[in-house]
Amino acid sequence: METDAKLTKLASCAGCGAKVGAGTLAGLLQDFKTHTDPRLIVGFDKSDDASVYVINEETALIQTVDFFPPIVDDPYMFGQIAAANAISDIYAMGGEPRLALNLLCVTEKMEDGWIREILRGGYDKAYEAGVIISGGHTIQGSDPLYGLAVTGFARPEQIRKNAGARPRDVLILTKPLGVGILTTAAKAELVDEDIMKRLYRQMAQLNREACRIMQRYRVHSCTDVTGFGLLGHSLEMAQGSGCTLHLMTGKIPWHKEATEFAQMGFVPAGAYRNRKYAEKAVRIQGEVPREIQDILYDPQTSGGLLIAVDEKDSKELLSTLKEVIPCAEAIGYAAEPEDKELILEG
């Protein structure tokens, strides 16, 4: 849909860059009284992508929720990206999404046509994923917001947590980085339209195929790379797994245009929050320029999967992924714990 709508001008921040920092969240959730249940095998205390409740030996219930302000001006594309981002958490856990509820906040400045297009984008992306949107909730507020609460299912043994990586596992990333930096520069109308169209297609792409492919191999851990950036989500994986993750910066895929804009200072606030959270756990070996570090801390919207796979399966998994996801790359490996949880190898 071609539109002159400037949805991004109605919001103070964009996409997953609006997420509250991981360190802040951890403090806010401390010491809450909660019920326990042995069937709840993943809860909010695990810093994982979704909660998982085992119903029986054959079925585990996966639940997640995600919503954010517009990251694009086209309302239909915004709806698609927001839905793909929310559904991604189910794929990151190794599940199949099945049901969803709309979450929508509208402002007085939004035209009815924009609202309908946002919802149409969400419904179309949910349909592509095989998801039924069965209801939702809409409110009025100061910023436009859209997303989904999603329910999925998997066999309990198919659940992939962000904890579980083992020494010598190979780390594979399925989408390039730089989304937050490029969309920040785009607000100043500095990014070519063709580059942004490429970025929009990436953000609207489901992680379905990556999930289905990884289930054929000995994958020990998985997460999707979104608002906490590659280093924030890698830190959660390292801490949960009791490993140190080595990331080879020369192997990590990112949109090369993001390098120039990072050098110019178009770095979203979320990247600084991510740096504050994760930097203390990072050791740099060799030369990693500041702009590359900014890209590694950059908050991603509807990012790819970060997969920790058994070394013996890694080449075949990567080869199979590349048949349908050419940008997938092996970016590092897990090791025995060292003095830092993350090692950046320049």
pLDDT tens column, 72-93: 999 999 999 999 999 999 999 9
Query: Does the pLDDT at position 145 exceed 90?
Result: yes
Tell whether 235 and 323 lie within a shared domain.
yes
Tell whether 214 and 142 lie within a shared domain.
no
Tell whether 101 and 36 lie within a shared domain.
yes
pLDDT reported for residue 333: 98
pLDDT reported for residue 119: 98
Domain boundary among 126, 158, 190: 158
pLDDT tier for residue 14 given thresholds of 50, 70 and 90: low
Q: Which residues pair with 68 in a beta bridge?
A: 146
pLDDT more than 90, % of the chain: 86
Is 16 annotated in the active site? yes
Query: Does the pLDDT at position 4 exceed 90?
Result: no
Q: What is the pLDDT of residues 260-289, one digit of tens each?
A: 999 999 999 999 999 999 999 999 999 999
pTM (predicted TM-score): 0.92
Q: What CATH code is carried by the domain that includes residue 135?
A: 3.30.1330.10
Query: Does the pLDDT at position 5 exceed 80?
Result: no
163 belongs to a structural domain: no
Tell whether 198 and 338 lie within a shared domain.
yes
Tell whether 48 and 145 lie within a shared domain.
yes
Tell whether 101 and 192 lie within a shared domain.
no
Q: Where are the beta strands (DSSP E) in the chain?
A: 40-42, 51-54, 60-68, 96-106, 132-140, 145-154, 170-173, 219-224, 244-248, 282-285, 305-309, 329-335, 342-345
Tell whether 70 and 93 lie within a shared domain.
yes
326 belongs to a structural domain: yes
From the list 256, 85, 246, 228, the residue with the least C-alpha distance to 167 is 246
pLDDT tier for residue 32 given thresholds of 50, 70 and 90: confident
Query: Does the pLDDT at position 29 exceed 90?
Result: no
pLDDT reported for residue 35: 82
Domain boundary among 158, 192, 222: 158
**How much is the mean pLDDT over the chain?**
93
Q: What CATH code is carried by the domain that includes residue 240?
A: 3.90.650.10
Which amino acid belongs to residue 50?
A
Exposed/middle/buried for residue 136 (C-beta within 10 Å: 0-12, 13-18, 19+): middle
62 belongs to a structural domain: yes
Rg of the chain (C-alpha set): 19
- Per-residue pLDDT, averaged over 226-234, amounts to 96
Tell whether 133 and 66 lie within a shared domain.
yes
288 belongs to a structural domain: yes
Contact present, 229 and 271 (Cβ < 8 Å): yes
Domain boundary among 158, 183, 216: 158
Domain count within the chain: 2
pLDDT more than 70, % of the chain: 92
Q: Which domain holds residue 129?
A: 7-158
Query: Does the pLDDT at position 17 exceed 90?
Result: no
289 belongs to a structural domain: yes
Choice among 16, 105, 222, 243 that is catalytic: 16
Tell whether 191 and 340 lie within a shared domain.
yes
Query: Does the pLDDT at position 318 exceed 90?
Result: yes
* Residue that wins the pLDDT comparison between 30 and 206: 206
From the list 225, 250, 232, the residue with the least C-alpha distance to 342 is 232
Query: Does the pLDDT at position 2 exceed 50?
Result: no
User: Which range among 32-36, 164-168, 218-222 shows the weakest confidence by mean pLDDT?
Assistant: 32-36
Query: Does the pLDDT at position 169 exceed 60?
Result: yes
pLDDT tier for residue 24 given thresholds of 50, 70 and 90: low
Query: Does the pLDDT at position 15 exceed 60?
Result: no
320 belongs to a structural domain: yes
152 belongs to a structural domain: yes
Q: What is the pLDDT of residues 33-68, one digit of tens each?
A: 788 899 999 987 767 889 999 999 999 999 999 999
Tell whether 178 and 129 lie within a shared domain.
no
198 belongs to a structural domain: yes
How many CB atoms sit inside 10 A of residue 192's CB? 10
Tell whether 196 and 128 lie within a shared domain.
no
Contact present, 154 and 93 (Cβ < 8 Å): yes
Tell whether 246 and 327 lie within a shared domain.
yes
**DSSP assigned state of 301:** S
